[in-house]
Amino acid sequence: MDPYFIPFLNAEVLEYRYRELSKFLHKTPILTSKSINSECGTSLFFKCENFQKSGAFKMRGVSNAIYELLKLKNKPKGIVAHSSGNHGQALAWAAKQHDIQCVVVMPRNASKFKKKAVLAAGGEIIECDSNISSRISAVKKICETSGFVEIHPSNQPSVILGQGSAAWELMTECHKNNIKLSHIGVPIGGGGLAAGTGFAVSVWNKIHDSSIKVFAGEPIGADDAYRSFYSGKIEHNKDPKTIADGLRTELGNINFPIIQKTLDAIYLVSDTEILEGQLKLAERLKLIIESNCSPPFSVVCKERQIFNNKTIGIILSGGNIDLRNSAWGS
């Protein structure tokens, strides 16, 4: 584990940081559905990050990264990141609040809807090829030529820590209401949310003498995290194919050890199962979520024998979907 996380193994230090971050974030609601619970044979509690600022959990990691830059260092000349949409949108939005220039490197085939959102939030877009190496090299060039600071979407300690605040809020609210969670489920792509959730849950379990398990859902067509988790080394996708565009990326050297240590399992779901999860939440809870968001819920619907009679928190990671040009799969 990266040395950055050592002070935050102290629950008081971690909780203080999350209280500081809450000043910049929405406290998103937690919803449940009797009909979904009955159908799945579980008690499900959905942490609705689709109602977060910028429409996704990404604002949590970005807020912590910028908090540290401003509190602990000098204000940067500018910030840069690569993103297929949500991280870039969150970064642009947060940068604008602090009068910091923001550049987002986005794949040429990224959603026009999400590119428009980044521009509307005040970010500048530089396009690149869709592969991860092109993204990385474009960001590196900007940092070298412009002196900007990179805020990585998933493999930066401050970002990972910030993402864990969603699970901490979920566990805190459930604890207050005497709801004893057995599991928390997250989607997994780059691994930032999974690692942040795993870290936060591991600290929570120690101070509350609980045994909440963290699992992740991943598309079959972009199964590198699944293969990595069970092989013990970072695996790669040559040509990921899934409607969940935000989950086509890969794990990093910082988040992977945390995932290995703190997650209980990773499960695979098909695009059809992802779409079914999206539709079910729209029909039953009237929630608009992205395809990137659906996998952990789809896992519970699929693996009913594993999760029967369990009490499960699901992080609904975002709701930035282009309703005009989507078959519930943006």
Q: Domain end: 128, 156, 184, which one?
A: 156
Q: ∠66-72-75 over CA atoms, to 5°?
A: 55
**Does residue 169 share a domain with residue 46?**
yes
Q: In whole numbers, what is the pLDDT of the chain averaged over residues?
A: 93
The reply to whether 293 falls in a domain is: yes
* Amino acid in position 65: A
- The DSSP H or E segment spanning 162 is helix 157-163
**Does residue 275 share a domain with residue 190?**
yes
The reply to whether 288 falls in a domain is: yes
**Does residue 290 share a domain with residue 201?**
yes
Dihedral over alpha carbons 267, 44, 172, 90 (to 10 degrees): 60
Q: Domain end: 140, 156, 172, which one?
A: 156
**Does residue 13 share a domain with residue 67?**
no
Q: Which residue range forms the structural domain that includes residue 86?
A: 58-156
**Does residue 267 share a domain with residue 189?**
yes
- Tell me the two tokens of residue 55: 């429409």
The reply to whether 64 falls in a domain is: yes
Dihedral over alpha carbons 29, 34, 36, 38 (to 10 degrees): 150
The reply to whether 135 falls in a domain is: yes
* Whole-number percent of the chain with pLDDT over 70: 98
For the whole prediction, is pTM greater than 0.75? Answer: yes
Q: ∠296-238-158 over CA atoms, to 5°?
A: 55
Phi and psi, residue 29, nearest 5°: -75, 160
201: domain CATH number is 3.40.50.1100
The DSSP 8-state label assigned to residue 318 in this structure reads B
Q: Give the number of domains in the chain.
A: 2
Tens of pLDDT, residue by residue over 300-316, are: 999 999 999 999 999 99
**Does residue 168 share a domain with residue 146?**
no
Per-residue pLDDT band for 327 (boundaries 50, 70, 90) equals low
The reply to whether 303 falls in a domain is: yes
The reply to whether 118 falls in a domain is: yes
Which residues does the annotation mark as catalytic?
58, 84
The answer to whether the CB of 100 falls within 8 A of the CB of 79 is yes
Per-residue pLDDT at 322: 80
**Does residue 146 share a domain with residue 25?**
no
| Listed residue (226, 316, 295, 302) closest to 263, CA to CA | 226
Per-residue pLDDT at 239: 84
Sheet holding 311-316, edge to edge: 30-31, 43-48, 311-316, 183-187, 213-219, 265-269
Q: ∠226-229-233 over CA atoms, to 5°?
A: 115
**Does residue 197 share a domain with residue 224?**
yes
Q: Domain end: 135, 156, 177, which one?
A: 156
Per-residue pLDDT at 205: 98
The reply to whether 195 falls in a domain is: yes
**Does residue 280 share a domain with residue 145?**
no
Query: Residue for token digits 């794949």?
Result: 107
Burial 64-103 (b: 16+ CB within 10 A, else e): bbbbbbeeeeeebebbbbbbbbbbbbbbbbbbeeeebbbb
**161 compared with 323, residue with greater pLDDT:** 161
The reply to whether 330 falls in a domain is: no
The DSSP 8-state label assigned to residue 8 in this structure reads G
Q: Of the given ranges (126-135, 159-168, 202-211, 293-302), which has the lowest mean pLDDT? A: 126-135
**Does residue 125 share a domain with residue 91?**
yes
**Does residue 298 share a domain with residue 186?**
yes
Per-residue pLDDT band for 329 (boundaries 50, 70, 90) equals very low
| Listed residue (129, 92, 150) closest to 248, CA to CA | 129
**Does residue 189 share a domain with residue 273?**
yes
* Amino acid in position 306: I
